[in-house]
Amino acid sequence: MATDRLSLSKILSYINQEVHIAPLVTFRIVFGLVMSFAAIRFMAKGWVQDLYVTPKFYFFYEGFEWIKPLDETGMYAIFCIMAVSAFLIGIGLFYRVNVLIYFLSFTYVELIDKTTYLNHYYFVSLVAFLLLLVPANAAYSVDVKLFPKLKRLYVPRWTIGVFKLQLGMVYFFAGIAKINHDWLFRAMPLKIWFAPFIQNEWLGWFFSIKIVPYLFSWCGMLYDVFIPFLLLWKRTRIWAYLTVIFFHVVTWWMFPIGIFPWVMIGSTLIFFSTEWHQKIQAWVFGVENSELRVQNSEYRIENSEVNRSKWSPTIIVLAVFFFIQVLMPMRYLAYPGKLFWTEEGFRFSWRVMLIEKVGTTIFTVKDLQDGREWEVHNLDFLTPLQEIMMSTQPDMILQFAHYLGEEYKRKENIDEVGVFVNSRVALNGYRNRPFIDSSVNLMLEQNDWKHKSWILPFDGENKEVK
């Protein structure tokens, strides 16, 4: 017991030890500016219109039914607020307020529609939340210019560590998720995605080599699993970072993943040493030999034994936060069946680029009393993107079924309505097969945490490891 307590207090005193703020400042500036650009880019591409104004129906997250989009002006206003608050985070003006505004506005938009769920949007929400807890504006910020009292050159080690941990977990869990039969031994879905690249003028010959997708699959898995450790270790850091750049630039070139590569390339800079960040900052801001530069010391030694092994509410919040972060990618273990097929426990788990999954879904609404039935033209209710996303994800199929049931009930004066679905899905190069039990009236099924028994089993020969 005594040793346990001792080691816990050791850990606490380690994470509370004061270190120089420089890496945190770089992180704040890069994150703020990139996310500001991202919000502007999103508007410029017309996606606010396409994703949050055009749709008639939105796939809500369970428990967040009350989150609704605003009207067109409102949605554009939200994105403008996002762009401005992110920019102000970058330059460090009214930092805490803007982090809060950014976190809320970004997360609000993400919660509107499951269709647009992306792991990297989830990552942005988490980082924004973490930024709320740290004084990233305590140096090189407008706040410090306006309120010199805020200036602080030393911050607890955890204020930087949380971002390293968060990034490390993203990579690590993404890597672990790649350890499966499809990815490693069938090179799926990379094989499918690489195949069209044989048409590339310059690199076609390379992609036509049969072994290439296997090589990328294995390297990708190893890269994700090991990169957090290689970035932490001083001797491998620079090489690891170069592979970060290489890997993300390659994925940016090959796939439509937008700004995410740049977010990661910018964020992982936080793994570099204080001295490195100080040098960069001195160079960028032209402040040579300023008081901000601290020679040869990563952390402050004076003040070393002051109450550092104490719990603080923030530390408790963070402990819970990361505990949940560890549980989320593991929750799929609680469900039977093939994860990639049922997608029960798939989201919020850093399962990136793991599946090529396409499907078609035909809904039939029935009046159970007089036998009348209607086939549904999905695009009367959904955007093409929503239809595509819905067709492979059972919880979205169920939500849409419930919506259709209510719509037809009203429109066609039905007392007892049944909604049935004929659905076929093709996963990772296997031919399409039935996905949902077409004899089940989905109106009687609930979207909860329980296993959805109406998802037909993936009965193929896929011997996936998990």
Partner 1 sequence: MKKAIKYTFLVLIGAGLMSGFSCKKKKKKDEPVEVTCDYSVTNMLSGIGNNIIIPRFASLTQTTLALKTEAASFVTQLDSASLVNLQKKFNAAYLSYQKVSMLNFGPALTNGFNMRERMNVFPLSVTTFDLYMNNNNTQPSQNANAAVGFPAIEYLIFGNVDSVLAEFTTGSQATNRKTYLVNLTDYLHQLSSTVYNAWISSGGNYIATFVADGGNSIGSPLSLLVNELNFDFETLKNFKYKIPLGKFDAGIVQPDKVEGYYSGTSVALSAANADAIYKLYLGVAESGTDGEGLHDYLVCLDAYYQTEDVSLANSINSQFALIYSKMLAIPDPMSATLYSNKQVIDDAHNEMQIAVPLLKREMTAAMGVQISYTDNDGD
- Stretch 318-377 residues interacting with partner 1 (CB under 8 A): 346-347, 351-356, 358-360, 362, 367, 372-377
CA distance 127 to 267: 10
Q: Closer CB to partner 1, residue 279 or residue 347?
A: 347
Other beta carbons within 10 angstroms of residue 397's beta carbon come to 26
User: In which element (H, E) is residue 158 found?
Assistant: helix 158-177
319's CB contacts (< 8 A; 6+ apart) are: none
Q: Residue 92 CB, nearest distance to partner 1 (Å)? A: 28
118 binds partner 1 per the rule CB under 8 A:
yes
Q: Closer CB to partner 1, residue 71 or residue 412?
A: 412
Residue among 357, 327, 324 at smallest CA distance from 339: 357
User: In which element (H, E) is residue 16 found?
Assistant: helix 2-16
Q: Residue 315 CB, nearest distance to partner 1 (Å)? A: 31
CA dihedral 135, 237, 126, 113 (to 10 degrees): 140
Answer for which of 66, 286, 333, 431 binds partner 1 (CB under 8 A) is 431
Q: Closer CB to partner 1, residue 95 or residue 346?
A: 346
For the segment 397-416, give every residue that binds partner 1 (CB under 8 A). 412
Question: Are the C-beta atoms of residues 250 and 264 closer than 8 Å to each other?
Answer: no
For the segment 71-90, give every residue that binds partner 1 (CB under 8 A). none
For the segment 135-174, give every residue that binds partner 1 (CB under 8 A). none
Q: Closer CB to partner 1, residue 163 or residue 408?
A: 408
Q: Closer CB to partner 1, residue 5 or residue 41?
A: 41
Answer for which of 4, 63, 149, 256 binds partner 1 (CB under 8 A) is 256
The label of the residue with tokens 């659905």 reads: 423
434 binds partner 1 per the rule CB under 8 A:
no
Answer for which of 57, 154, 193, 262 binds partner 1 (CB under 8 A) is 193
Answer for which of 20, 28, 114, 120 binds partner 1 (CB under 8 A) is 120
Residues 292-321 as x/- pattern, contact with partner 1 by CB under 8 A:
------------------------------
CA distance 264 to 273: 17
Residue among 152, 24, 22, 28 at smallest CA distance from 93: 28
Q: Interacting stretch for partner 1, rule CB under 8 A, among 53-61, 82-90, 105-113, 116-124?
A: 116-124
In angstroms, how far is CA 351 from the centroid of its own chain? 9
Q: Closer CB to partner 1, residue 432 or residue 446?
A: 432
Q: Interacting stretch for partner 1, rule CB under 8 A, among 16-24, 97-105, 203-211, 330-338?
A: 203-211
CA distance 199 to 205: 9
464 binds partner 1 per the rule CB under 8 A:
no
Q: How many residues does the chain have?
A: 466
Q: Closer CB to partner 1, residue 169 or residue 188?
A: 188
Q: What is the CA radius of gyration of the chain?
A: 25
Q: Residue 382 CB, nearest distance to partner 1 (Å)? A: 13
Q: Interacting stretch for partner 1, rule CB under 8 A, among 62-70, 258-266, 313-321, 448-456?
A: 258-266
Q: Residue 134 CB, nearest distance to partner 1 (Å)? A: 26
Question: Are the C-beta atoms of residues 138 and 151 closer than 8 Å to each other?
Answer: yes
Q: Residue 179 CB, nearest distance to partner 1 (Å)? A: 11
Position 112, amino acid: I
E-assigned strand segments in 316-427: 357-367, 373-375, 417-427
For the segment 217-236, give every residue that binds partner 1 (CB under 8 A). 217-219, 222, 226, 230, 235-236
The string of DSSP codes covering 402-421 is: HHHHHHHHHHTT-SSEEEEE
The string of DSSP codes covering 290-327 is: -TT---S-SB--TTTTSSTT---HHHHHHHHHHHHHHH
271's CB contacts (< 8 A; 6+ apart) are: 164, 167, 231, 232, 237, 240, 241
CA distance 353 to 183: 10
Q: How many residues bind partner 1 (CB under 8 A)?
A: 73
Answer for which of 208, 314, 438, 447 binds partner 1 (CB under 8 A) is 208
For the segment 8-47, give every residue that binds partner 1 (CB under 8 A). 45, 47
Q: Interacting stretch for partner 1, rule CB under 8 A, among 62-70, 84-92, 162-170, 185-193?
A: 185-193
Query: Which class for 27: exposed (0-12), middle (13-18), buried (19 or more C-beta within 10 A)?
Result: buried
Q: Residue 219 CB, nearest distance to partner 1 (Å)? A: 7
